């Protein structure tokens, strides 16, 4: 896996030519053809396991936080308040901003109706056991030049220090949502390329890099920066979720 952005994989993969598809081992007891992708994500327990494994085994991902004051503000996903960001573990969101811009009359709280992607990111944050979320749309006062300059200058620290970055690698603006989390359903596809060989059941999956190719998210310099600087990435596409 030569691409540095998508190289942190520690399982066995078998590449299928140059098609962007890979063969991975799955548990026994599944008869093919199989459909492993459901339209809703019912549990985030396996994502918690991924994060736990990363925290305990990957020394490079568990680096000492260089600055606890990188984020001036965070969203409290429990109360929907905008709070001071000091010394709080948080999740960051990477998404396509789009053209619309909604503002709350109260600078200390989210507006009543936030875009679906941000609402879904708050849901994911809570279901993973975190409370605070950083989203540039609400955590940077775009009309305050000094605050904007300060936060843009610390973008590397903001994403590096996040416990996890949620990547909405689909949609042209934040109204799309995270497929499988809220209103937007995932597009399940039967996976017919499967076989049982000895005690192993093998199925074909798409590699994350090919799953996000051609999306609006991949065309933005800001989102490229966000993905590259993040220690951990949870990527949402139309049909799957990758860590």
pLDDT tens digits for range 90-119:
999 999 987 766 666 677 889 888 999 999
Q: Residues with Cβ < 8 Å from 118, sequence gap 6 or more?
A: 93, 95, 135, 137, 138, 174
31 DSSP 8-state letter: P
Global pTM? Answer: 0.80
What's the mean pLDDT in 5-10? 42
What pLDDT is stored for residue 214 in this prediction? 83
Mean pLDDT of 134-159: 90
Mean of per-residue pLDDT scores for the chain? 79
Helix H segments across the chain?
45-57, 116-127, 136-139, 145-153, 155-161, 208-212, 221-229
What is the distance between the alpha carbons of residues 52 and 36, in angstroms, rounded to a whole number? 23
* More confident of the two residues 193 and 143: 143
Q: Where are the domains of the chain?
A: 4-61+73-242
- How confident is residue 134, by pLDDT bands cut at 50, 70 and 90? very high
């Amino acid at each position: 896996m030569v691409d540095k952005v998508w190289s942190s994989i520690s399982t066995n993969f078998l590449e299928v030519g140059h098609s962007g598809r890979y063969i991975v081992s799955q548990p026994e007891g599944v008869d093919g053809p199989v459909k492993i992708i459901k339209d809703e994500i019912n549990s985030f327990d396996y994502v918690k396991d991924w994060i736990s494994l990363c925290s305990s085994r990957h020394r490079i991902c568990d680096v000492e936080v260089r600055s606890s004051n990188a984020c001036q503000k965070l969203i409290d996903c429990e109360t929907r308040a905008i709070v001071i960001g000091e010394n709080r573990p948080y999740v960051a969101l990477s998404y396509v901003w789009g053209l619309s811009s909604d503002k709350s009359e109260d600078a200390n709280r989210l507006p009543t109706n936030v875009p679906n992607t941000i609402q879904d990111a708050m849901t994911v944050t809570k279901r993973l056991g975190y409370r605070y979320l950083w989203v540039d749309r609400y955590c940077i006062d775009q009309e305050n030049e000094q605050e904007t300059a300060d936060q843009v200058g610390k973008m590397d620290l903001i994403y590096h220090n996040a416990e996890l970055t949620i990547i909405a690698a689909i949609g042209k603006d934040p109204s799309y949502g995270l497929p499988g989390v809220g209103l937007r359903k995932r597009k399940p596809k039967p996976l017919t390329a499967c076989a049982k060989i000895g005690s192993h059941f093998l199925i074909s999956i798409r590699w994350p890099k090919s799953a996000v190719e051609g999306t609006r998210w991949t065309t933005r310099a800001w989102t490229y920066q966000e993905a590259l600087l993040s220690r951990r990435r949870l990527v949402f596409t139309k049909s799957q979720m990758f860590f």
